[in-house]
Amino acid sequence: MNADELVKDALGTVADEARLPAGVAGAAWRQRTRMRIRRTATTAAALVAAVTVGVITVPSLVAPDDPQVATSRIADGIAADPGRATPVQRVAAGRVTLTAYASCAPSTSDCAWHVLDPDTGRYGPTPWGWVAVAPGGRTAAVLEKTLPARRIGLADTAGGTVRRWIDLGRAAAGSVAWSPDGQRLLVTTYDFDPGLLDDPGDVPDERNSRTGFAIVDVASGEAAFHRLPGGPGVRSDLSWSPDGSLIWEDSGERQRPRKYYDLTGRTQPGPAQESLSDQDAGLSPDGRLLAMGGRSGSAPFVADVASGETTLLEPGGGHPIVRSLAWADDTHLIAWMQESGDSSRYRLVLVRVAGEQEVTPLTGWTDPRSTWWPSFTSEP
């Protein structure tokens, strides 16, 4: 078998045999589909500035009946805020930094964006309806509160001042994402406000359909618009491929979860292995491991693209991993972990994918009275 066939075989075998418990599987699916916020890329220099070094123990968090919390600390290469339901202090691990997040009240569309100030190392509220932090961590592309928006602001992440506006003309932006090189913006356009929350239990709004996308050159402000309709009643944002040569969306298909396009909207086959991943993390930085699983109730796992060997993400402590979000390095994933016995509480963790799968909490357990969703930047 070639690498593509090995990964496909691994997907079929593990997805059928490694099941999350019914309640956990349903919660994981809801957690996955409620919001569609993608990560962007940042430079190694920015990441060095973003990582907190040292060791700080947090005695109030150490609980004998929770081994995950007992390991909470800030160590070399890791910055964590494990004592809060939504982070206040910088969160980072390896190549990845949490640069922004959206916090939403349950059963409403009332969401607020928070952005990491690189000077203070703290997250602060913003007035924006969408935020994407650029490579370097000093600039954010922002959309005004009422979506879709007719212009994009380029704002300082330290202080929040908008330095410049890019007019989109007749196009209406529902989301924006920086290219890996930080030179372009991918704007997903909509007819009406797609909302941040995407609850499968809601009656679809036929108006909330994607109309297409625009590629914006940041230096000149010039935008090239392309029609690419999406399904009605759902947020279907487009994302960059790791090298910035293609864009993709969630296809909803088990065998090929990612559907790729060139920068004019023409369908493309996409990267052989990464197109098989239904996890946000996708392919590891060294191209050896693929994050997979989580669809149709299967537990998340990683597959070796060369051998097809699979490793389930099943760390000790009884708290299941339900979603792989980003690779911190070649052997560690940032993921959502669900609290054992409570499908409404999650936390961000760093999990080593090999050996004993050591887990380091990055944030505290979420408050069931609100929902928040991370937006990451990572070095190329």
The verdict on pTM exceeding 0.85 is no
Domain that holds residue 18: 3-378
Residue 146 has pLDDT above 80, yes or no: yes
Into how many domains does the chain fold? 1
Tell me what the mean pLDDT of segment 342-358 comes to: 90
Q: How confident is the model at residue 141 (pLDDT cuts 50, 70, 90)?
A: very high
CATH of the domain at 157: 2.130.10
Confidence of residue 29 (pLDDT cuts 50, 70, 90): very low
- Starting at the earlier edge strand, list the strands of the sheet with 289-292: 289-292, 301-304, 310-312
| pLDDT band (50, 70, 90) for residue 56 | very low
> Taking Cα atoms as reference points, which of 307, 350, 301, 359 lies closest to residue 327?
350
Q: pLDDT value at position 232?
A: 73
Q: What burial letters (b/e) apply to 133-149, b meaning 16+ CB within 10 Å? A: bbbbbbbbbbbbeebbb
- For 28, half-sphere exposure in the C-beta direction (CA atoms, 13 angstrom radius) is 30
- Tens-place pLDDT, residues 276-322: 999 999 999 999 999 998 555 567 999 999 999 999 998 878 899 99
Q: Which pLDDT value is given to residue 316?
A: 79
Q: How many CB atoms lie within 10 A of CB 343?
A: 18
What's the pLDDT at 297? 58
Q: What are the φ/ψ torsions at residue 247 (nearest 5 degrees)?
A: -125, 160
pLDDT for the residue 23: 44
